[in-house]
């Protein structure tokens, strides 16, 4: 049986969207994500989003390319807002989307999507030993776990080595997204992200929020903060005690149909 899908990206962080209002695909989410997200044998993406409908609310269930389910994804929720408007499933400019990290409110305006990301859960810095080196990591949750690491030059970081090393450190029971952050100016950060379950991505919305709020708390920058990622820029606004706001684009790439049984048979 063929299923319709659409592919979107937020600053190059790309996702496959499939409607699953009856909940038929959700039990297979882990397997489908590994198959569909494969860059050579599937459609190719950083994650699979199954759009469910719970108590009348469209809900984002997102699975990373390795099959693990994430609680929240800032780029994906912007793309889902774009999808719902494209398909006339919702009316703008204000939308509400359910996630495992709670309901997110999004406002579409001028080709950008502004997301209320909720309040961050900040902890004090940790000194972690990994592969013979000490790292100062700043834990923060944006509904999913992050660790912010400040460096002098993000381009000099061996992301393929240190990303998975810190992601899988025993201090994070559910693993963590790792943000390597370079302070450029009082309102600008340069960030490279190693995403839990996906590896290096061109952008990470929750990671940009994590990097910004820790940088603001440490006094390195002031809100609003322009976060420069390999795929483009996001604007993050936050002051202590308030919700984090993230603004950025979402882009449709293409749509099609795929035979899931044939895909499974080609493993």
Peptide bond into 209 cis (omega under 30): no
Question: pLDDT tens digit string along 211-224?
Answer: 999 999 999 999 99
* pLDDT at residue 54 in the model: 86
Give Cα 137 to chain centroid, integer Å. 19
The pLDDT confidence band at residue 6, using thresholds 50, 70 and 90, is: very high
**Using CA atoms, how far apart are residues 178 and 35, in angstroms rounded to an integer?**
25
Bridge partners of residue 251, in order along the sequence? 9
Report the percent of the chain where pLDDT is more than 70: 99
Tally of CB atoms within 10 A around 248: 24
Q: Where in the chain is the domain with CATH 3.10.310.10?
A: 2-116+250-265, 121-242
* pLDDT at residue 1 in the model: 80
Residue 259 pLDDT > 80: yes
Better pLDDT: 88 or 55? 88
Mean pLDDT of 50-59: 94
How do beta strands 251-259 and 199-201 pair? unpaired
Question: pLDDT tens digit string along 102-155?
Answer: 999 999 999 999 999 999 999 999 999 988 899 999 999 999 999 999 999 999
Fold category of 2-116+250-265 in CATH: Diaminopimelate Epimerase; Chain A, domain 1 (3.10.310)
Q: Is the dihedral of CA 192, 193, 198, 201 positive or negative?
A: negative
Nearest to 212 by CA among 127, 142, 126: 142
Q: 201 near 13, Cβ under 8 Å?
A: yes
Residue 266 pLDDT > 70: no
Mean pLDDT of 3-25: 97
* pLDDT at residue 267 in the model: 60
Q: List residues with catalytic annotation.
A: 73, 204
* pLDDT at residue 132 in the model: 87
130 burial via Cβ count (<10 Å: 0-12, 13-18, 19+): middle
Please give the DSSP secondary-structure letter assigned to residue 231: T
DSSP 3-state of 76: helix
Question: pLDDT tens digit string along 61-87?
Answer: 999 999 999 999 999 999 999 999 999
Mean pLDDT of 161-175: 95
CATH class (in words) of the domain with range 121-242: alpha beta
* pLDDT at residue 244 in the model: 98
* pLDDT at residue 265 in the model: 81
Please give the DSSP secondary-structure letter assigned to residue 156: G
């Amino acid at each position: 049986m063929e299923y319709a899908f659409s592919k979107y990206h937020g600053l190059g962080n790309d996702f496959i969207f499939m409607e699953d209002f009856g909940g038929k695909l959700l039990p297979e989410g882990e397997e489908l994500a590994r198959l569909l997200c494969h860059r050579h044998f599937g459609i190719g993406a950083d994650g699979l989003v199954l759009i469910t409908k719970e108590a009348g609310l469209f809900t984002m269930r997102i699975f990373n390319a390795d099959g693990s389910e994430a609680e929240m994804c800032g780029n994906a929720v912007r793309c889902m807002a774009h999808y719902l408007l494209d398909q006339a499933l919702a009316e703008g400019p204000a939308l509400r989307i359910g996630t495992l990290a709670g309901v997110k409110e999004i406002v579409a305006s001028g080709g950008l999507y502004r997301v209320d990301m909720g309040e961050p859960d900040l902890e004090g810095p940790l000194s972690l030993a990994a592969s013979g080196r000490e790292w100062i990591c700043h834990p923060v949750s944006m509904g999913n776990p992050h660790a912010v690491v400040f460096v002098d030059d993000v381009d000099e970081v061996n992301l393929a080595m240190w990303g998975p090393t810190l992601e899988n450190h025993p201090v994070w029971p559910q693993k963590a997204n790792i943000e390597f952050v370079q302070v450029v100016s009082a309102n600008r950060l340069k960030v490279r992200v190693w995403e839990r379950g996906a590896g290096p991505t061109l952008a990470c919305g929750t990671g940009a929020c994590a990097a910004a709020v820790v940088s603001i708390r440490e006094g390195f920058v002031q809100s609003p903060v322009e976060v420069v990622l390999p795929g483009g820029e996001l604007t993050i606004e936050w002051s202590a005690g308030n919700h984090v706001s993230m603004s950025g684009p979402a882009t449709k790439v293409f749509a099609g149909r795929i035979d899931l049984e044939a895909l499974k048979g080609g493993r």
